[in-house]
Amino acid sequence: MVRSMRQRGIYKWRIAFAAALLQLLVSCGIFTPRDSEAPEPGVMIDPFNFAAILENTNENFTSLRYEDLFMESDTVYLDVNYGRSSTTALLQRLHQILIQYPRIQVQWTTGTVWKNSGNDTMVLSGLKYYIFSDSTTGGPPGDSGSSNFTAVIYNRNWVVSLWTDIPSRAGRSFFDL
Amino acid sequence: MMRCRTAAMVFFLLRTAVMAGGSNEWPAVFTVPVKPDTAVDSAKLRLSSDAKVFKNTEKTSSRLEWAPLSSLWRMRQRSVVTTRNEGGENAMNQVYDFSGSVIRDSVFPKGGSLGLEWSPVINLELRDHTPGGVTATNDFGTVMQWRTHDIPLRFRGGISGSGWNYNLPARLLDNKYEYFHGDAGFYGAFSAGDPTVRLLGRPLYVTTEAFVRAVRMVGIAAINGSALLAHRLGSGDSLFAYYGDSLSNGKERYWGSPGGQRQYTYAPWRVARSFQATGGLKFRESRLRPALVYSYAENAVTFPNLDKPNDRRVMLQSIHLLGEAKSTLPVVYKGGIKIWWGAEEWLFKSDRLRSVADTFNLGPASTREDTLTKDSLTVKLSDHQIYRAATDHAVSIALPKGMALEYTLGIFRNSRTYTFCFSPDSVRNYNDDDAITLNHQGRFKLPRFRAIEAEAFGAYSVNITNYLKKEDGRSSENRTEDGYLLGLDCSYRPSERFSLSERITAEADIIDYFYKQSHLNDPPPYKRRFSSLCRGTWKMTDHWELHGRWDENYNDYGVWYGHEYLDTARADSLGTDYYAIMNKATTYSVELSLARVRDRYRLESGCRLSDVFARSYRENAYVIDVEEQGYVIEPFLEFTVQYRRFSLRGRVVRLVNTLASDNRAFKKNWDIHVAGQASW
């Protein structure tokens, strides 16, 4: 009799435990994101559509801010016509072209992907790009070319460590729109 | 070196132990390991070889193992030679590993053993046009093992050396002595305890291990240990307590190129400490079996001599509630919730903070005392509080007529709140965020109808990126990514000789930005994928089989042109919202093969035909992407031979691309893999 009552008590305790678990789950907002601040008007993210270069890799950039997207390096952009650019110079050139063409649109095709066995380095080859200066992708592109990218894991995120630009016409580059 | 890596691995495992596993799984640290079965292998000599040629890369690996046994001693000698040749680079890399040991049993009372071990490893790199190199490492020492009070004790120790030459000419005999370099030192290791055996008959499992290596008087020492108490209380409930600790201190030796000269060198002096204390209570077996776990873990790394401020400490506490329900009803439930809270601190020792600050500070000494430089402050900006929560639930229901239903739900939240800022500009880190992942998965097994079996499955996932601050454009990146999957597996098996199966899936990924005004004329990406895989086998006789496979996939990638993502002028001219496909591709693959099956061998010959039809949207039309990718035809031959002590298996494939210009290049268009083994 005493044993049966004790067992019933234990069982009730466990039901209470399960109920508490459910209560905790549904009522505390444990999995509800906090409120975020609305961005300032005019702040644009990834106008050059770099997110698309990882399209067929099953990977994503954690941040599309160009300061985070390109690794800090003396040679992060290599233009076969003009030579190398540091990250600071590349960011400046991206900024300048955005001032000149605020409605720019870039389309990237996918290329071949090579990943190392440690899955912390990717080489993306033969990605073609088509640049539309006025955000109309229906007409002919203002410029086009092909690029190779090397992406590496840095601070647990994918970043571009080298962008090699191979424009479609001699003497031009991604920035010669 | 290997032991240092082991210590580092233990450190890493302890560091990640808190994170591993679903929240409805009992923590792995509370599981008493089972003593592995020591299967008796009668083979005393084993020779195996594996060779692969594929697209300009050749790789061969040969292994010889000799393990003669007697009642008094054990010997194991391993010889592994691996060659890798990258055709495009004209560089060959060879590794020779001649590790081995000889141990005599029953030298000491209670079966104590004594022996020698050696581990020479030579790495040879040869190139066509530039000097190659060779590196060699070797440990040679004694091994001892004995028991006291039923506690196993093990000791290893000896000399350790390495040599290298990174100016090898193409003709090895032309080598000069001055190019050879070498180092020597010692190593020692001690371990006690067995994680599978109770300590002194108590429900306590204790192990400890220490290792030291010093070469040229520069060394590294590592110690780690763990204790697990697993005690059943009188009430039938179980009490668990675990403590694990590891410490490594010193400079790890590695092969590198400081100053452009390739040589063995040392990593910066590093002190790494990691510990975890965990307690748990698991109620006795019943219809509902709840459990409760609390854990504290701390991982710290400091670099005492390094000017760059990289010292970091992560402290995490967690509470974990989980339960499992089983009853006579055909329903099984397993669920749990786990919450972590803690902090990541950089330059966590105040004296270290000052010394780094002093290194960088160029101002007068008086200011140095109180002022932290911008460099160390910048590092401190990475300090943040951590909050994580996870819940996982799994339900399975067995239904009549062989039907079954399974459902799993998993939610994970990872939040960071940055705490450090410095004046006068109120500089701070604006990466405060909540990353939330939600996964629903379901599976329904349909009733069997004659020879047909089918199972439907589906998944829905949501990934939320939520930055809290607007500075640096962080919150404008906020988005949700919804993933959908629907699928059907079915098979038709009217007899033992014939089977046909089909798997169909449809997937979609949809991204939506929170703040659409930050993405004007930058519509979010969408993608879809449909796939079908059909396989069939017909065993025509006991010795002949026909196999077929048809694989077809379609995928596209594009953007969602919605009014909310366009500026006013473009939105006005847009009719209805639509999904604009930018790239689409269809992949086909058909394979048919015939196999001859006998007791001692299996021979299969067939052919695969595949094609990728990829198009991109350009100038108002879909244009075919031509990348020298025509139809690919792959005739192949596969064989397996088993005869007494010998076995041989292989696969030879000839790749033919109808558009490629270099189809006759031998190394680029063959995929050959042969592996054999013989043992006595």
Evaluate the omega torsion of the peptide bond into residue B203 and state whether it is cis, within 30 degrees of 0: no
**% chain B with pLDDT above 70:** 86
Residue B22 pLDDT level (bands cut at 50, 70, 90): confident
Residue B350 pLDDT level (bands cut at 50, 70, 90): low
Whether the predicted pLDDT of B5 surpasses 60: no
Distance separating alpha carbons of residues B544 and B594, to the nearest angstrom: 7
CB contact under 8 A, B321 and A21: yes
Distance separating alpha carbons of residues A105 and B517, to the nearest angstrom: 16
User: Is the pLDDT higher at B21 or at B511?
Assistant: B511
State the nearest Cα–Cα gap between B630 and chain A, in angstroms. Answer: 15
> Is the distance from CB of A121 to CB of A71 less than 8 angstroms?
no
Query: Which amino acid is residue B335, in one-letter code?
Result: G
Between the ranges A15-24, A94-103, B1-10, where is the mean pLDDT highest? Answer: A94-103
CB contact under 8 A, B475 and A37: yes
B308: which chain A residues are within 8 Å (Cβ-Cβ)? none
Whether the predicted pLDDT of B368 surpasses 60: no
CB contact under 8 A, B323 and A21: yes
A139: which chain B residues are within 8 Å (Cβ-Cβ)? 619-620
As a whole number, mean pLDDT of residues B144-152 equals 87
A63: which chain B residues are within 8 Å (Cβ-Cβ)? 477
- Minimum CA–CA partner of B292 in chain A: A17
Distance separating alpha carbons of residues B249 and B567, to the nearest angstrom: 59
B587: which chain A residues are within 8 Å (Cβ-Cβ)? none
Among candidates B439, B413, B244, which has minimal Cα distance to B337? B413
A/B interface, count of CB pairs below 8 Å: 129
Residue B665 pLDDT level (bands cut at 50, 70, 90): low
Q: Which sign does the torsion angle of CA B199, B200, B201, B203 carry?
A: negative
Please indicate if any CB of chain A lies within 8 Å of the CB of B23.
no
CB contact under 8 A, B517 and A41: yes
CB contact under 8 A, B389 and A141: no
A18: which chain B residues are within 8 Å (Cβ-Cβ)? 288, 290, 323
Counting Cβ atoms within 10 Å, is residue B602 exposed (0-12), middle (13-18) or buried (19+)?
middle
pLDDT computed for residue B525 by the predictor: 87
pLDDT computed for residue A166 by the predictor: 85
CB contact under 8 A, B467 and A130: no
Among candidates B82, B83, B81, B75, which has minimal Cα distance to B45? B75
Q: What are phi and psi of B284, to 5 degrees?
A: -65, 165
User: How far apart, in Å, are the Cα atoms of B549 and each of B486, B490, B502, B531, B670?
Assistant: 22, 15, 10, 13, 22
Per residue, what are the HEC states of A40-89? Answer: CCCCCCCCCCHHHHHCCCCCCCCCCCHHHHECCCCCCEEECCCEEECHHH
Query: Given B323, B466, B473, which is nearest A65 (Cβ)?
Result: B473
Distance separating alpha carbons of residues B450 and B447, to the nearest angstrom: 10
State the nearest Cα–Cα gap between A111 and chain B, in angstroms. Answer: 9
Q: What are phi and psi of B243, to 5 degrees?
A: -135, 125
State the nearest Cα–Cα gap between A88 and chain B, in angstroms. Answer: 16
Among candidates B234, B249, B255, B309, which has minimal Cα distance to B133? B255
User: How far apart, in Å, are the Cα atoms of B438 and each of A32, A167, B412, B457, B461?
Assistant: 11, 42, 7, 17, 5
- Map residue B369 onto helix, strand or coil: helix
Reported ipTM: the value is 0.75
Please indicate if any CB of chain A lies within 8 Å of the CB of B517.
yes
Q: Which two tokens stand for residue B471?
A: 């500075």
DSSP of B159-188: EEEEEEEEEE-SSGGG--GGG-EEEEEEEE
- Minimum CA–CA partner of A43 in chain B: B518
pLDDT averaged over every residue in chain B: 86
Distance separating alpha carbons of residues B537 and A146, to the nearest angstrom: 45
State the nearest Cα–Cα gap between B148 and chain A, in angstroms. Answer: 43
**% chain B with pLDDT above 90:** 51
CB contact under 8 A, B337 and A24: yes
CB contact under 8 A, A11 and B287: yes
Residues 6+ apart with CB under 8 A from B586: B552, B553, B554, B612, B613
Distance separating alpha carbons of residues B99 and B136, to the nearest angstrom: 13
State the nearest Cα–Cα gap between B570 and chain A, in angstroms. Answer: 9
Q: Which two tokens stand for residue A124?
A: 């993306």
Distance separating alpha carbons of residues A143 and A127, to the nearest angstrom: 14
Whether the predicted pLDDT of B147 surpasses 90: no
Whether the predicted pLDDT of B361 surpasses 60: no
Whether the predicted pLDDT of B417 surpasses 90: yes
Counting Cβ atoms within 10 Å, is residue B201 exposed (0-12), middle (13-18) or buried (19+)?
exposed
A64-91 pLDDT tens trace: 788 888 998 888 998 877 788 889 889 9
Q: Which residue has the tokens 């110690």?
A: B223
As a whole number, mean pLDDT of residues B505-518 equals 94
Whether the predicted pLDDT of B62 surpasses 70: yes
- Map residue B47 onto helix, strand or coil: strand
Give the pairing type, strands A143-154 and A121-132: antiparallel
As a whole number, mean pLDDT of residues B126-144 equals 85
B470: which chain A residues are within 8 Å (Cβ-Cβ)? 36-40, 43
State the nearest Cα–Cα gap between B335 and chain A, in angstroms. Answer: 9
Cα-Cα-Cα-Cα torsion A137, A138, A142, A147, nearest 10 degrees, comes to 60
Determine the number of helices (DSSP H) and then strands (DSSP E) in chain B.
5, 36
pLDDT computed for residue B551 by the predictor: 97
pTM of the model: 0.79
pLDDT computed for residue B285 by the predictor: 80
> Is the distance from CB of B91 to CB of B126 less than 8 angstroms?
yes
Distance separating alpha carbons of residues B391 and B557, to the nearest angstrom: 32
- Minimum CA–CA partner of B390 in chain A: A31
Residue B534 pLDDT level (bands cut at 50, 70, 90): very high
> Is the distance from CB of B563 to CB of B577 less than 8 angstroms?
yes
User: Is the pLDDT higher at B478 or at A4?
Assistant: B478
Distance separating alpha carbons of residues B47 and A37, to the nearest angstrom: 66
pLDDT computed for residue B21 by the predictor: 61
Q: Which residue has the tokens 């092969």?
A: B255
- Label residues B39-66 b or e (16+ Cβ within 10 Å = b): eeeeeeebbbbbbbbbeeebbbbebebb
CB contact under 8 A, B618 and A138: no
pLDDT computed for residue B10 by the predictor: 35
As a whole number, mean pLDDT of residues B432-445 equals 96
pLDDT computed for residue B133 by the predictor: 82
- Minimum CA–CA partner of A67 in chain B: B472
pLDDT computed for residue B15 by the predictor: 35
Distance separating alpha carbons of residues B139 and B160, to the nearest angstrom: 4
pLDDT computed for residue B12 by the predictor: 34
Instruction: Tell which of A37, A106, A113, A128 to mutate to test the B interface (max B CBs under 10 Å).
Output: A37
Residue B374 pLDDT level (bands cut at 50, 70, 90): low
Distance separating alpha carbons of residues A108 and B582, to the nearest angstrom: 9
- Ranges of H-type helices in B468-557: none
Whether the predicted pLDDT of A2 surpasses 90: no
> Is the distance from CB of A127 to CB of A108 less than 8 angstroms?
yes
Query: Given A40, A45, A140, which is nearest B519 (Cβ)?
Result: A45
Residue B362 pLDDT level (bands cut at 50, 70, 90): very low
pLDDT computed for residue B7 by the predictor: 38
Whether the predicted pLDDT of B18 surpasses 50: no
User: Is the pLDDT higher at B256 or at B152?
Assistant: B152
Distance separating alpha carbons of residues B84 and A78, to the nearest angstrom: 31
Q: CA B50 from chain center: how many Å?
A: 24
Residues 56..95 of A with a Cβ closer than 8 Å to B: which?
63-65, 67
Distance separating alpha carbons of residues B376 and B374, to the nearest angstrom: 6
CB contact under 8 A, A14 and B434: no
pLDDT computed for residue B424 by the predictor: 59
**Of B50-64, B357-371, B605-619, the least confident:** B357-371
A37: which chain B residues are within 8 Å (Cβ-Cβ)? 468-470, 475
Residues 577..606 of B with a Cβ closer than 8 Å to A: which?
582-583
Residues 6+ apart with CB under 8 A from A93: A77, A85, A175
How far from each other are the two terminal CA atoms of chain B, in whole angstroms? 33
Give the pairing type, strands B670-679 and B204-215: unpaired
Please indicate if any CB of chain A lies within 8 Å of the CB of B618.
yes
> Is the distance from CB of B65 to CB of B101 less than 8 angstroms?
no
> Is the distance from CB of B557 to CB of B584 less than 8 angstroms?
yes
B450-460 pLDDT tens trace: 899 999 999 99
Between the ranges A146-150, A158-162, B475-479, B488-492, where is the mean pLDDT highest? Answer: B488-492
Whether the predicted pLDDT of A141 surpasses 70: no
State the nearest Cα–Cα gap between A174 and chain B, in angstroms. Answer: 18
Query: Given B287, B477, B620, which is nearest A138 (Cβ)?
Result: B620
**Of B116-120, B213-217, B302-306, B593-597, the least confident:** B302-306
> Could you say which DSSP state residue B33 is in?
P
Please indicate if any CB of chain A lies within 8 Å of the CB of B273.
no
User: Is the pLDDT higher at A107 or at B351?
Assistant: A107
Q: HSE-up of B584 (CA within 13 Å, CB side)?
A: 15
CB contact under 8 A, A25 and B286: no
> Is the distance from CB of B660 to CB of B630 less than 8 angstroms?
yes
A31: which chain B residues are within 8 Å (Cβ-Cβ)? 389, 391, 411, 413, 436, 438
Among candidates B145, B188, B258, which has minimal Cα distance to B4? B188
